[in-house]
Amino acid sequence: MTSPDIDAQLNSLYSLQRKGIKLGLEHTVQLLNFLGNPDKKLTLIHVAGTNGKGSTCAHLQTILRAHGYKVGLYTSPHLIKFNERIRINGTPISDYEIISFMRSIDAAINKIDSTFFEVTTAMALNHFNEYNVDVAIIETGLGGRLDSTNVIKPNLTVMTPISMDHMEILGDSIEKIAKEKSGIIKDGVVLITAKQNKVVADILFSKASEKKTSVIVVDMPSNISIRPRGTDFILNNQNYNTPLIGKVQAENASLAISALKHFNNQITHETICDSFKELHWPGRLQLLSKGIYYDVAHNSSGIQTTLRCLHDMYPEHKLYGLFCLKGDKDLKSIAVQLKGNFKKLFVAGSDHRLINNPKQLSKKLNNHGIKNYPIESIKNGVELLKRGIKKRGIGIIFGTHYIAEEVFKEFEISFDSGII
């Protein structure tokens, strides 16, 4: 249960969402000026891309903490509580610290006409500076060039694979999206990137050349072995295991390992392996109960990766899906990934205001040739999945971060503290 004070401050912060997304850096710069420019006092790693940003950040912070660093981590969106977005050594910012910050900056917010993400970014950077973190990992919200986080001058830039998402804001082609995301590349700051398709790679190398910096494309992991509770892989002739599931998680871990080898070449293989034993990042092919998983994949490439991983792990099983989707997603491209993958696909509603009405979403899916069954709630959907797995099935709940609280409640999983 939260206090009236924190509820009031969070309501005030969330009310800034009515201003929508304002791409640009001016307001964030002004907020940080008001706070004494805490960003300029920090050692920073900036992470952008389309899919895998959060998981890559989780691997980065886990390794750094194991090496003895005090680590700030700023990610979005949250699963249960706002506080999860801003963590130090895995522990979220407290209600008291949020209240104090919002009260201290209230006049500046009104004067500058700041948005939700601008204020949240300023809050994170200020929090990390106040507690003297050794390194702060900053995940972009969306895009790059005009993302609020792009006010920082990082010590290292990391790029996960770039694909189609947020087209209404970033552009309707992979070229346009890549150009926006390449905007985080800074003068003289090395870019460590996952393997990209040729179009994207050419754009990243061109931007790096313009900024007079170098690009390091990380080696791909090999000998990947996926198990229900983790993924084994080899990188540069060394064995690793991440508790996160899937080929893509081996790739995310490899990106993090390679980035930190450049950041600090004293980090040992033993430290990395030990750190992964402590890694916890909910909502990424998370096993909820026997035979039922939850994944926050919410765009075409992310959903394709999730479904492919489940089919690889359980080739003899039938797949039962429980699907919710935020209203602004590209359903046409997502439908391509759904087609032919499910024994039964249930489309559920949610208490969250951003989630599609199940009957409307069901009708749109039908128009794309996807047979599905609309149901009223997550609770009903979970019961249907449980019946399905009794018939040699595997269940997957997917499509969005915004149903995490309802999902965890149904499986009696506690993540209220948000500690990772």
pLDDT value, residue 18: 65
pLDDT tens digits, residue range 242-262? 999 999 999 999 999 999 999
pLDDT value, residue 12: 83
Position 362 pLDDT exceeds 70: yes
What confidence tier does 14 reach under pLDDT thresholds 50, 70, 90? confident
Q: pTM for the full model?
A: 0.93
Residues of 184-218 as b/e, b for ≥16 C-beta within 10 angstroms? Answer: bbbeebbbbbbebeeebbebbbebbeebebebebb
DSSP string, 131-184: TT-SEEEEE-SS-STTSGGGG---SEEEEPPP-S--HHHH-SSHHHHHHHHGGG
Position 154 pLDDT exceeds 70: yes
pLDDT value, residue 164: 62
Domains of the chain and any CATH numbers: 4-276 (3.40.1190.10), 286-410 (3.90.190.20)
247 contacts 224 by C-beta, under 8 angstroms? yes
Task: State mean pLDDT over 174-196.
Answer: 94
Q: Which residues pair with 374 in a beta bridge?
A: 347
* One-letter identity of residue 229: R
Least confident window among 71-75, 117-121, 228-232: 228-232
42 contacts 133 by C-beta, under 8 angstroms? yes
Calpha distance 213→205 (Å, rounded) = 9
Q: What is the pLDDT of the chain when averaged over all its residues?
A: 93
**Which bin fits 68, alpha (ψ -120 to 50), beta or left (φ > 0)?**
left
- Cβ neighbours around 294 below 10 Å, total: 24
Calpha distance 395→385 (Å, rounded) = 6
Percent of the chain with pLDDT over 90: 82
Task: State mean pLDDT over 211-228.
Answer: 96
pLDDT value, residue 266: 97
pLDDT tens digits, residue range 304-330? 999 999 999 999 999 999 999 988 788
pLDDT value, residue 168: 59
Q: Comparing C-alpha atoms, which of 319, 388, 376, 370 is closest to residue 348?
A: 376
pLDDT tens digits, residue range 384-403? 999 999 989 999 999 999 99
Cβ contacts of residue 305 below 8 Å, gap of 6+? Answer: 51, 246, 247, 248, 297
Structure tokens at 250: 């081996």
pLDDT tens digits, residue range 24-60? 799 999 999 999 999 999 999 999 998 899 999 999 9
Task: State mean pLDDT over 338-342.
Answer: 96
Position 167 pLDDT exceeds 60: no
pLDDT value, residue 143: 72
